[in-house]
């Protein structure tokens, strides 16, 4: 397609997207849309690797995530937005790749090891979870993506994708370009309780929050516990509000920091100043969401059309894959 390089990236539909997702991944995707042939995937099968009992919720979660993407500025005229489980070729390629993936590559994957330790409440001793990176390799290779925007935490997965890619090309002939990662710079954001912003901590400011909700969250947001009243000297490091000033009011950060440290600026005024820039942002997102949802079939049409485009590309690659693996003329 038009000599542009192909990008594939994806997210698991595991809940509402928050400011961290917007700043870390989505705004970067939006920028890439003009210069690359972009595929953005709702990785619902990946979500099942840890949530195999939540199958019924998946379709709604997938759709809601697509709405958040559209609100962020993903343009379905430029990019292909699709649902992994609607393109069955992912399963076929995953199966063929599983034949050439040594189990030790998967067992030594640091993400696998740490998740097994961290998510103790979940039973992750299943075949699908071990094979998570094989499915991710299938996602990328199916579209012959050469560029994969990811957060730093995804690097081990991408390295496995590259190894699988090389092994495939080696065994069966050059079919796939080797995918390169580009890191999306994740801003240092903290949740409203001062811990890392994460849906598992329920401390997020979500893209779909109303201004009222944002105001409530900011007002009760954690700040330096030693700074209690106006005049108290504070320490902005580790303050979620200060980090947000740093992103949305960059020019004023020196002033904010000095005011916080000297005690001249109280937390309540500091929060008010932040809300003044957040309000138009959230109003904008709310209006955009309303507009998107006001057209009855729009989101379904975006998804159906994206699925079709993805399926066409995936089907083409699978023909090449079958020819490479089994030889031409294979059923």
Output the CA–CA distances (angstroms, integers) from residue 119 to 21, 50, 112, 115, 116, in the order listed. 21, 9, 10, 6, 6
Residue closer to ligand TRP by CB (options 11, 93) is 11
CB of 41 to ligand TRP, least distance (A): 6
CB of 49 to ligand TRP, least distance (A): 10
**Number of Cβ atoms within 10 Å of the Cβ of 165:** 19
Residues that bind ligand TRP (CB under 6 A): 8-12, 41, 43, 46, 136, 139-140, 148, 150, 154, 157
With a CB cutoff of 8 Å and minimum separation 6, the contacts of 231 are: 263, 266
Residue closer to ligand TRP by CB (options 41, 257) is 41
Ordered DSSP codes for 33-102: TTTSEEEEEE-HHHHHTT-TT-GGGHHHHHHHHHHHHHHHT--TTTSEEEEGGG-THHHHHHHHHHTT--
CB of 149 to ligand TRP, least distance (A): 7
Residue closer to ligand TRP by CB (options 46, 245) is 46
Residue closer to ligand TRP by CB (options 181, 245) is 181
Ordered DSSP codes for 201-251: GT---BTT--HHHHHHHHHH----TT--STT-----TT-HHHHHHHHHSGG
CB of 223 to ligand TRP, least distance (A): 30
Residue closer to ligand TRP by CB (options 154, 223) is 154
Beta pairing partners, 41: 10, 82
CB of 10 to ligand TRP, least distance (A): 4
Report CA 227 to chain centroid distance, whole Å: 35
Residue closer to ligand TRP by CB (options 106, 281) is 106
Q: Are 201 and 193 in contact (CB under 8 A)?
A: yes
CB of 145 to ligand TRP, least distance (A): 8
């Amino acid at each position: 397609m038009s000599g542009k390089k192909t990008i594939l990236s994806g997210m698991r539909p595991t809940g509402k997207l928050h400011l961290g997702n917007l700043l870390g991944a989505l705004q970067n995707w939006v920028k890439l849309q003009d210069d690359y042939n972009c595929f953005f995937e709702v990785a619902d099968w990946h979500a099942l690797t840890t949530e195999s009992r939540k199958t019924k919720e998946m379709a709604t979660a997938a759709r809601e995530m697509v709405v958040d993407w559209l609100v962020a500025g993903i343009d379905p005229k430029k990019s292909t937005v699709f649902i992994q489980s609607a393109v069955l070729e992912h399963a076929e390629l995953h199966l063929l790749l599983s034949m050439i993936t040594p189990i030790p590559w998967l067992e030594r994957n640091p993400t696998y090891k740490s998740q097994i330790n961290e998510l103790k409440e979940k039973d992750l001793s299943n075949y699908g979870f071990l094979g998570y990176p094989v499915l991710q390799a299938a996602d990328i290779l199916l579209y012959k993506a050469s560029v994969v925007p990811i957060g730093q935490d995804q690097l081990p997965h991408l390295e496995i994708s590259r190894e699988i890619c090389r092994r495939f090309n080696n065994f069966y002939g050059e079919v796939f370009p080797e995918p390169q990662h580009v890191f999306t710079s994740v801003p240092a954001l903290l949740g409203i309780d001062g811990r890392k912003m994460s849906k598992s901590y329920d401390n997020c400011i979500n893209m779909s929050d109303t201004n009222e909700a944002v105001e409530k969250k900011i007002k009760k947001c954690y700040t330096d516990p030693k700074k209690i009243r106006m005049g108290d000297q504070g320490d902005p490091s580790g303050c979620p509000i200060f980090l947000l000033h740093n992103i949305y009011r960059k020019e004023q950060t020196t002033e904010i920091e000095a005011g916080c440290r000297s005690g001249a600026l109280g937390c309540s005024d500091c929060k008010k100043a932040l809300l003044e820039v957040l309000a138009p942002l959230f109003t904008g997102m709310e209006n955009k969401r309303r507009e998107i949802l006001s057209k009855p079939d729009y989101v379904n049409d975006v998804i159906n059309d994206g699925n079709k485009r993805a399926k066409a590309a995936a089907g083409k690659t699978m023909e090449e894959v079958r020819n490479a693996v089994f030889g031409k003329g294979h059923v």
